[in-house]
Amino acid sequence: SLDIWDPFEGFSAVASVPPSARETTAFATARIDWKETPEAHIFKADLPGLKKEEVKVEVEDGNVSQISGERSKEHEEKNDKWHRVERSCGKFMRRFRLPENAKVDQVKAN
């Protein structure tokens, strides 16, 4: 038999959450590294499949850096047969409070 054990089977808290909400939650934790050099604070985000136009980088409240965006669900054709979907979709947003010495007027993204 090719039955796969599902550790969440019968677990009502997860089972009651619609699949679309689980997808959004998964993408909400976009992985971001933050390092400080003598010249700058550098953020590197793992956002595979997104174009730079789909990612927004801004500073709010004086010294809070916010990185946000959204990955759309892949278009499904009528005859498609999906075997596994692990890449998440939905909105994400990460916020970081920058130190007082950060030059927020010089923020750049690439």
Give CA–CA dist 87/33, Å, rounded. Answer: 20
- Is 2 part of any domain? no
pLDDT score of 24: 45
Convert the pLDDT of each residue in 48-90 to its tens digit.
888 888 899 999 888 899 999 988 777 777 888 878 877 777 8
Range of the domain at 44: 27-72+88-103
- Is 39 part of any domain? yes
- Is 96 part of any domain? yes
CATH number of the domain within which 33 lies: 2.60.40.790
Average pLDDT, the chain: 77
- Is 82 part of any domain? no
Give CA–CA dist 67/83, Å, rounded. Answer: 32
- Is 36 part of any domain? yes
The answer to whether 68 touches 53, Cβ cutoff 8 Å, is no
How many structural domains is the chain composed of?
Answer: 1
